[in-house]
């Protein structure tokens, strides 16, 4: 980053924070409480959580736009490559309803992209992400797969219920102090990539989730909200080799060709 860019952006941030301090007549007690809070936020390792909740959505909108949304703090590289038929790695007794997500990866011009890579991750039904939180085994509900020759894919996972941020640290303390809830709608994360295209970072949400309109991370876009279809007939379950009802949905990911 150039000296000029740092001076412009950081200078403006400093000015705007000073304006807010002025406007709200912040006291010395409040100033010291904020200083103490920010130190504790760092000590607890919650800076990525704080920044991704409050600011990533704006950076994302400017840099990706339609079809994309925030990455959040819980991506882990090198998730296992899956074999067809794709099933996201999970425990034998993984909690949650079975979800079969199918779809296509296309260019923004509409052409299917054979072999596109989908790197997928999600929290378990208790809101824990494997590899970054205690609980699930390594790489649980994380995996990489490719679209077929028609740009199509299908993967079995679980329907993610509404999600709350990790509790017990400075982030929860701030949300409580402001009287704000700490929920995000349930979601599936993806990074979709292919040679010659800009990787798409996104998430999928589901109709009916009570937090679609009040996501604490402000990262829901209408084109990312899918409807779920329930399948509970014995024939459908048998056809899928499942012993319980399941849900299906589908989505089309669109990748931008890289310039040049
Ligand atoms: C998430 O998508 O899981 C997430 C996003 C922002 C902050 C915390 C979590
Ligand atoms: Fe998430």
Pocket test for ligand 1, best of 48, 49, 218 (most atoms within 8 A of CB): 49
Residues 6+ apart with CB under 8 A from 26: 20
**pLDDT value of position 132:** 96
Neighbours of 161 (CB within 10 A): 18
**Residues in Cβ contact with 185 at an 8 Å cutoff, skipping those fewer than 6 apart:** 162, 163, 205, 206, 209, 210, 211, 212, 215, 220
Catalytic site includes residue 184: yes
CA of 230 to the centre of ligand 2 (A): 24
Please give the distance, rounded to the nearest whole angstrom, from the Cα atom of residue 152 to the centre of ligand 2: 24
**Residue 259's pLDDT is what?**
78
Q: How far is CA 202 from the centre of its chain?
A: 6
Catalytic site residue 129? yes
Return the half-sphere exposure (C-beta side, CA atoms, 13 A cut-off) of residue 33.
8
Concatenate the DSSP letters of all residues of 150-204 into one string: TSEEEEEEEPPPPEE---SSHHHHHHHHHT---EE---EEEEEE-TTEE-EEEEE
pLDDT per residue as tens, the chain (260 positions): 999 999 999 999 999 999 999 999 999 999 999 999 999 999 999 999 999 999 999 999 999 989 999 999 999 999 999 999 999 999 999 999 999 999 999 999 999 999 999 999 999 999 999 999 999 999 999 999 999 999 999 999 999 999 999 999 999 999 999 999 999 999 999 999 999 999 999 999 999 999 999 999 999 999 999 999 999 999 999 999 999 999 999 999 999 999 75
Q: In the β-sheet with 142-146, what is the strand arrangement from edge to edge?
A: 142-146, 117-121, 188-193, 200-206, 225-226
Q: What is the pLDDT of residue 158?
A: 98
pLDDT for the residue numbered 14: 98
Give CA–CA dist 49/258, Å, rounded: 30
Ligand 1 centroid – CA 72 distance (Å): 4
Measured by CA distance, the residue closest to atom 6 of ligand 1 is 72
Q: Which pLDDT belongs to residue 223?
A: 98
pLDDT, position 260: 52
User: Ligand 1: residues within 6 Å at CB?
Assistant: 49, 52-53, 70, 72-74, 165, 184, 217
Domains of the chain: 44-257 (2.60.130.10)
Closest of 170, 187, 207 to residue 75, by C-alpha: 187
In this structure, are residues 73 and 219 in contact, taking their beta carbons and an 8 Å threshold?
A: no
144, 189, 251, 254: the active-site residue: 189
How many whole angstroms from 168 Cα to the centroid of ligand 2? 18
């Amino acid at each position: 980053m150039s000296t000029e860019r740092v001076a412009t952006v950081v200078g403006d941030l400093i000015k705007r924070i000073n304006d807010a301090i002025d406007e709200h007549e912040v006291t010395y007690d409040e100033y010291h409480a904020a200083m103490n809070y920010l130190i504790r936020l760092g000590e607890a390792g919650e800076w990525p959580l704080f920044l991704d909740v409050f600011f990533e959505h704006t950076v994302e909108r400017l840099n990706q736009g339609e079809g994309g949304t925030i990455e959040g703090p819980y991506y882990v590289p090198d998730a296992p490559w899956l074999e067809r038929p794709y099933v996201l790695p999970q425990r034998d007794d993984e909690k949650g309803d079975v979800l079969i997500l199918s779809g296509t990866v296309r260019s923004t011009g509409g052409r299917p992209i054979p072999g596109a890579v989908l790197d997928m991750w999600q929290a378990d039904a208790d809101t824990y992400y494997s590899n970054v939180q205690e609980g699930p085994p390594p790489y649980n509900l994380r995996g990489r797969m490719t679209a077929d020759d028609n740009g199509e894919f299908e993967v079995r996972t679980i329907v993610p219920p509404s999600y709350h941020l990790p509790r017990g640290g400075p982030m929860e303390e701030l949300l409580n102090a402001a009287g704000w809830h700490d929920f995000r709608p349930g979601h599936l994360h993806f990074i979709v990539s292919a040679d010659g295209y800009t990787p798409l970072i996104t998430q999928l949400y589901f109709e009916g989730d009570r937090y679609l309109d009040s996501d604490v991370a402000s990262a829901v876009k209408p084109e990312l909200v899918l409807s779920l279809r329930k399948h509970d007939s014995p024939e459908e379950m048998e056809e899928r080799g499942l012993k319980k009802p399941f849900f299906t949905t589908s989505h089309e990911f669109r990748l931008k060709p890289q310039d040049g």
